[in-house]
Each structure stands twice: as C-alpha cells, then as structure tokens.
Structure 1
Amino acid sequence: MKNRRLGNSELFVSEIGLGCMSLGTVESQASEIIQAALDEGINYFDTADLYNFGVNEEIVGKNLKSVREQVYIATKVGNRWNENKDSWSWDPSGTHIKTAVKDSLKRLGTDYIDLYQLHGGTISDNIEETVEAFEELKKEGYIRYYGISSIRPNVIKKFTEKSDLDSVMMQYSLLDRRPEEWMPLLENKQISIIARGPLAKGLLSEKMLEKANEDGYLDYSYQELKDLLPQLKDKLSGRKLNDTALQFVLSHQSVAAVVPGASSVQQLRENCRAVNSSSLTEAELDVLKQLTKANKYESHRE
C-alpha cells in the first residue's frame, strides 16, 4: 500500500483509508473489517463523535488499541446530539470543541487524536474562535493536526486564510467533480484533500444502476446515469468500474487519500485491490473528463 503526506503534517497516510461510519454497531463484524483493513496496509481510520452516538469511536478505538502507534485516527467535532438523541445541533464554539475532544479521547481509549476535523461549517461561524480552540488543543497535545470536513466554497476559503489546517475532507468522485475548483488553492497552501464518497454511493461500482434511483445523482438525471455509467466502464476496457473511480480521484496529487466506507470485508478488499491497480494514463483521464461533468458548487459562495 502506498502512502501520501497529509498537508504539511508528519502523517503519511495510506492512499485508501477506512471510512468508519458504515461499520455498524455489531462489534464482531466491525472488528473483522478493521482487521482486514490493517492486513491490507491501511493506516488511516476516519470516524466522528456523531456516528452511532459515539459508539463508532468506541469500536474503532478498541480495535486499534494494540496497534495505536502504527495507525492514524481521525475523528470529527461540531455536532451535538440532543438529550433524546433524535436530532443534533451545530456548535463550532471553542467551549464545545475543548469539551468534546476529551469525550472522544475517552471513547477512543487514546491520549491523542492524529487528525481532528470540524464536521461541517458555515460562513456565519466564528472561525477565529474555532481555529483558536484547535491550536490550543495542538499545543496541549490532545490533537496532532486539524482539518475541516466541508465542500462549501466560502467556508473553505475562510479557513485557508485564517488557519494552518492540513486537510479538507470533501465529497469527490467522477460524478461529483466540484472539489477540482479548489485544487490549485489547496495545493498552493499545501493542504490535502481527503476524498469521501469516491464511489458515489455505489454508482461507480460494479452494481452501477442497481444503486441508482429515479431522482438521479446531483446534477445527473437517471437517464444520464443510465447512458453514462456503462460508458465509463466500456471506454476503459479491462478495468473494473471501481478501479477507474478510485484511480481517477487518486490521479490528483492534492488528494492524500480516498476514504470509502465498507460494510463487509469483501467490499473493503475490492476497494484495496482497486487502489493498488495501475494508475490511469493521461489518455484515460482525458476520456473520463470528456464523459463527465465538471460540476461546480453554486451555493455558499461570496
């Protein structure tokens, strides 16, 4: 498994990480998937305090305890469950962040978090206060580095101006090329992209249209998907569609890792095989760019 440097940090993360949200709450099944990830050479595990009311962090921490010094644990903060745990509210305040990090550390069973990410963000947030909290946590040793999880252009721009973040987690795939607009800026600032959703909810897997619905996907109608998905596979004969999908995302040097979820060991191994396959040629990349839309995030702009 190849590794890439995350931003300006000392973290060299595997090209594929494990998005832990889909692990579920059956610990035996989650343990099998995490162990398979370790066997494949994955060293980056991404969770959040929001997932399963913190149970996800507990499962991840427990299963990585014996290899803690060999892996990187990333989690997220900013969403607060209400007392009934049937909805959550947004809270990027410094007070919440400094309280929530200790709760996450306890659930994870570790003394530090490798990458602490703001789980969202709006332009009306007090970004200076959020950044100050992250910087204080770094100095105190609770976290090593920090980033944000957002695709909102105005939020990304503000954080690149006002912080020393090392990563931006964004949904990015052949069907959602919105992050490409920000790659030059992020590369210039040496900020890495962590790509979630690289398989577009399974549309870019061998199941293709089985995962589609009549509403389509983003700005693709169902009919457009019906026409496009077979072409993405047929035009690059000899490659499985998830090979093409993951290698397309990794073709950009600003991407440090793709982080698909995995609800089974088989799914995880298929994704790892895809990441370890040969890189796309320039000709193949040109074909893919011609077939797909260079989407742009139209809202949340200044």
Structure 2
Amino acid sequence: MRKRRLGNSDLYVTELGLGCMSIGTEENAARRIIEAALEEGINYFDTADLYDFGENEKIVGQALKDVREQVIIATKVGNRWHSDHSSWTWDPSKAYIKEEVKKSLKRLETDYIDLYQLHGGTIEDPIDDTIEAFEELKAEGFIRYYGISSIRPNVIKKYVEKSNIVSVMMQYSILDRRPEEEVLPLFHEHGISVVTRGPLAKGLLSDKLLEKVSEKGYLDYNYDELRAILPLLKGKVAASRSFTEVALQYNLANPAVASVVAGASSPEQIRSNANAVRSQPLSSEEVAVIKEIAKASIYKEHR
C-alpha cells in the first residue's frame, strides 16, 4: 500500500489508516480486524484514551506489540472521564496531558507514541500551556510528534501559528467539503498533513448509499437533496467502480491529505477499504465533476 509523509515528520503513513474506535471490546474479534489491517499493509492505527475507557488502547497495544517497530500508533488526549464513567470533561491542561500520557503508554505497552493528538480544543483553552506539554513530551522521548484532532478553524489556525504540529485530524468527505476552502490550503502551505475521518459520511458514500439516507439528512443536505445527489454522483463518477473507491479517492486527491482513517467492524470491511484505496486515483476531470455536484460549504459553527 502506498505511503505518504506525515507533515514535515519522518513518519510515512499508509494512505489508509485504521480508526480503531469501531473494533469493539471483544478481544479476539478486535484482533482479527487489526491482523487483517496488517495483512493489507496498513501501518497507521488511530486510537484514543477516551475510547472504551482506555480499553481500546489496551487491545491495540496488545495486538501490535510484536510489530511495534513496523507500525505508527496515534492516540489522543484531553477528555477526562468522570470516576463513574458517566461522562467526561474537557481538560487540555499541561498537568493532565503529562499525567495521562504515561497511562496511555502503559495501556499501549510501548515506550513511545508516534503521534500524540489533542482530542478537540476551543479558542478559550490555555493553548500555550498545551503546546508546552507536547513539546516537553517530545523532548523527553515519550512522543515522537504531535498534532490535533479538530474541525474548529480558529483553533487550528492558532496551532498552525504557534506550534510544531505535523498533522490535523478532521472530518472530510464529498458530502463534507468544509475543510477545502478555509484550512486545507493553509495546511499545504505550511507542510502540515491532514488525516481525514468520516470519508464515507456514515455509509452514505458507500454502495449502500440510498439505504443509509435518513429523514434528518446530513449536514447541509436535507433528505430530498440526498435522494437526488447520491444517484447523480454514482452515475457521473461511479458507474464502473464502487462508490467507496470514489469516496476514499476523493480525499486522497487533495495534496494536503496524508491518510484516510476509516473505521471497520470486520476484516471484510478492512479488505474492501484497502481495495478502494489501491484503486485508480480520480482524474482531475472526475474531481471537478464531484465539486460541481456536491456543495462547497463552510464552517458556520464550531469556530
């Protein structure tokens, strides 16, 4: 599987990464999904301390410990579970980040984290202190690089200006083109990579497209618009290939994108996504057709 450089780091991530949130907590089933990913050549695995109260990190660490030097492990920090696990609070403080990284390292059974990401962020955060925490962890050898997982343009711009982030994880798809206008050119200019999530838009951009349409619509699209636009997209750009291929290749067509992180709840899903990423890239003409059909929206909220 092809690899791309993550920002200005020396990490080269596969064009498809595994979003581990969806692998579940049954260890044998989860391990089979991770093993399928390894068999397909995937080297990028994304988890978070938030997922399943840390159990996800344990499963990922256990499954990858024998191939640790061949893979890139990304995890996230900033959401602090209440003691009763009923909910969590946002805590981007330096003290919390430096305390929590040690717990993640233990759960992951590793001495270092390749990519440590802030799991959110607001403009009111103590951003300088947060950056200081990541920089110290990097200097101390606990992490190799850091990034943020956010869709807030104002927050992202602060980190681009003030920090040494190598990546930003954000939602991006044919049906969610919000990053294109405001942040993707900025990342490309500064040598920062995007790691995308939600590329299939909750299944709307898969071959089950119309089965997944909800009365609630999706982002800027209402029900009727989705019923109209999805068959049109399929007819124009997916007549001879799967819609999953088109959806994943659309993300990869943007020069700022390093890896598309897709979740999977079965080995079969992994194989399908891997085949889609290995397929023929979209032509510039196909990208133009998609952009003509799909809305070019902006971030009205989540600033």
- Asked if Structure 1 and Structure 2 have the same fold, meaning a TM-score greater than 0.5 normalized by the shorter chain, the answer is yes
1:14, distance to aligned residue in structure 2 (A): 0.1
Instruction: Check the 8 A contact 2:173/2:199 in 1, yes or no.
Output: yes
1:108, distance to aligned residue in structure 2 (A): 0.2
For 2:302 and 2:101, locate their aligned partners in 1 and report how far apart those are by CA, in whole Å: 28
Q: Structure 2 matches for 1:1-302, cutoff 5 A?
A: 1-181=1-181, 182-236=183-237, 237-301=239-303
String of CA shifts for 1:86-136, please: whole Å, max 9, x gaps. Answer: 100000000000000000000000000000000000000010000000000
For 1:242 and 1:57, locate their aligned partners in 2 and report how far apart those are by CA, in whole Å: 28
Instruction: Check the 8 A contact 2:151/2:302 in 1, yes or no.
Output: no
Query: Given residue 223 of structure 1, which amino acid in structure 2 is its aligned partner?
Result: D
The alignment partner of 1:69 has SS state of: helix
1:300, distance to aligned residue in structure 2 (A): 4.2
Query: Given residue 45 of structure 1, which amino acid in structure 2 is its aligned partner?
Result: F
For 1:241 and 1:227, locate their aligned partners in 2 and report how far apart those are by CA, in whole Å: 15
1:183, distance to aligned residue in structure 2 (A): 1.3
String of CA shifts for 1:224-282, please: whole Å, max 9, x gaps. Answer: 11111111111122011010000000001100000010001111111110000001111
Query: Given residue 98 of structure 2, which amino acid in structure 1 is its aligned partner?
Result: K
Q: Greater shift after overlay, 174-183 or 7-16?
A: 174-183
1:209, distance to aligned residue in structure 2 (A): 2.2
- So what's the TM-score if we normalise by structure 1? 0.99
Stretches of 4+ moved more than 4 A in 1?
none
For 2:184 and 2:201, locate their aligned partners in 1 and report how far apart those are by CA, in whole Å: 20
For 2:90 and 2:148, locate their aligned partners in 1 and report how far apart those are by CA, in whole Å: 14
String of CA shifts for 1:54-108, please: whole Å, max 9, x gaps. Answer: 0000000000000000000000000010011010000000000000000000000
For 2:283 and 2:203, locate their aligned partners in 1 and report how far apart those are by CA, in whole Å: 24
The alignment partner of 2:164 has SS state of: coil
Identity %: 64
Query: Given residue 239 of structure 1, which amino acid in structure 2 is its aligned partner?
Result: R
Unaligned runs of 5+ in 2: none
The size of the alignment, in residue pairs, is 301
String of CA shifts for 1:183-215, please: whole Å, max 9, x gaps. Answer: 111111100000000000111011112222100
Instruction: Check the 8 A contact 2:18/2:37 in 1, yes or no.
Output: yes
The alignment partner of 2:16 has SS state of: coil
Query: Given residue 271 of structure 1, which amino acid in structure 2 is its aligned partner?
Result: N
For 2:144 and 2:184, locate their aligned partners in 1 and report how far apart those are by CA, in whole Å: 24
Instruction: Check the 8 A contact 1:233/1:239 in 2, yes or no.
Output: no
String of CA shifts for 1:162-194, please: whole Å, max 9, x gaps. Answer: 101000000000000111121111111100000
Let me know the Cα RMSD of the aligned residues: 0.7
- So what's the TM-score if we normalise by structure 2? 0.98
Query: Given residue 40 of structure 1, which amino acid in structure 2 is its aligned partner?
Result: E
